[in-house]
């Protein structure tokens, strides 16, 4: 594990996660919960893909584990996509 794989680094690229939230209402609940984390600047939802993806942008380094714990409290899961295609 490294700083890059364990955290969302500030910048324009952000970090993309796959989620089991499907409906617009579920995605709003998840998005609002993640936005409560200090340092989260924006959460963009791409509901057209399967599985549904969200991209998180930060203003400071935020732990992926913190984002996953916050999502789990809403009963949804977020799984970070890999850095490189395998």
Per-residue pLDDT tens digits for 1-60: 688 889 999 988 899 999 999 999 999 999 999 999 999 999 999 867 778 999 999 999
**Domain residue spans of the chain:** 7-80
71: pLDDT confidence band, cut at 50, 70 and 90?
Answer: very high
pTM score, two decimals? 0.89
Does the CA dihedral 4-7-11-12 come out positive or negative?
positive
- Per CATH, the architecture of 7-80 is what? 2-Layer Sandwich (3.30)
Give the pLDDT confidence score for residue 51 in this predicted structure. Answer: 83
Tokens of 70: 């916050």
Dihedrals phi, psi of 79, to nearest 5 degrees: -120, 120
């Amino acid at each position: 594990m490294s700083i890059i794989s364990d955290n969302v680094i500030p910048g324009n690229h952000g970090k993309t996660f796959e989620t089991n939230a499907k409906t617009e209402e579920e995605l709003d609940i998840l998005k609002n919960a993640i936005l409560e984390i200090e340092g989260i600047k924006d959460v963009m939802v791409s509901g057209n893909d399967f599985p549904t993806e969200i991209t998180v942008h930060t203003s400071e380094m935020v732990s992926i584990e913190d984002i996953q714990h916050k999502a789990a409290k809403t009963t949804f899961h977020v799984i970070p996509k890999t850095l490189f295609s395998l």
